A and B are shown apart, each in its own frame.
Chain A
Amino acid sequence: MAVLAAFRSERFGAEGLETLRSAGTEIEPGALYPMLRRLESQRLLSSDRRLDDGRLKRFYTTTARGVEVLGALKTEQDLLARSLIQLMR
């Protein structure tokens, strides 16, 4: 869910890693990169490999399907949070 949210705008792996870290989601690069490839194989992310500042980088973006899945996950998360808040009262 965090990865789908972080890559809604086009980013390369290390950039996405920084975005996740700055939002408080710690993840090892060795976990993020294969996850990006897996999400791409599930068509939740799309990628484009090109030169940027003289270096070859793979840029990922969340697809329309990925945004849809992210929305469904967020609704589920909101429902869970709401029911927990109600239980805590």
Chain B
Amino acid sequence: MENRKKYLAKVMFWLPSRCKKDIYLALEADIDEHLAAEEDRVGHELTPQEEELALRAFGVPPVVATRYSMELPLISSGLMTVYRRVLFIALAGVILAQIVLIIPDFIDAEAGKHGRLIVETGRRATWGFLLAFTSVTLVFSALTRIYSQWGKIR
């Protein structure tokens, strides 16, 4: 029973607090059923070692937590390929824009000021990367939710 408690606690650790209670009840019932089936199979009450083995066979706690959590992922697997491509294009666009912006300044800059220009461009590129990453991720996350709702409506 101690092993069972520990296992439940390990799974709960990986779950967001808002859905812990519901999942706990479901998981507890399923684990009890699994352990009872193991007892029926071996024909006696499980020893702590057998119980530990049976719980190990149930699954690795973080993986089990993911399986029980019915929350939507940030970006659905169906959109992942498109997301990666769009993200790549957006990041490449940031680099290209910074190169285009730096070339005339770099040519016109006085000697000794090139280093400062490169640092300034690097700073702008970093902000550009962050902005591109955030906006593309937010758009695809919204699309994931819209498609999921659409699937429910259909």
Contacts and interface: CB of A to CB of B under 8 A. Distances in A.
Interface of A: 12-15, 17, 28-31, 33-35, 37-38, 41, 53, 55-58
A57 B63 contact: no
A86 B33 CA distance: 46
Contacts of B68: 34, 37
B119 interface: no
Contacts of A55: 33, 36
A14 B34 contact: yes
B33 A14 contact: yes
Name the prevailing secondary structure of the A interface residues.
Answer: helix
B33 A13 contact: yes
Given A14-B34, A57-B33, A58-B33, A37 B59 contact: no
B54 to A, nearest CB: 9
Given A14-B37, A55-B36, A28 B26 contact: no
Given A33-B34, A34-B67, A34-B68, A28 B29 contact: no
Nearest to B37: A14
B42 interface: no
Contacts of A13: 30, 33-34, 37
A17 B64 CA distance: 16
A53 to B, nearest CB: 8
B130 interface: no
B88 interface: no
Contact of B67 (A12, A17, A31): A31
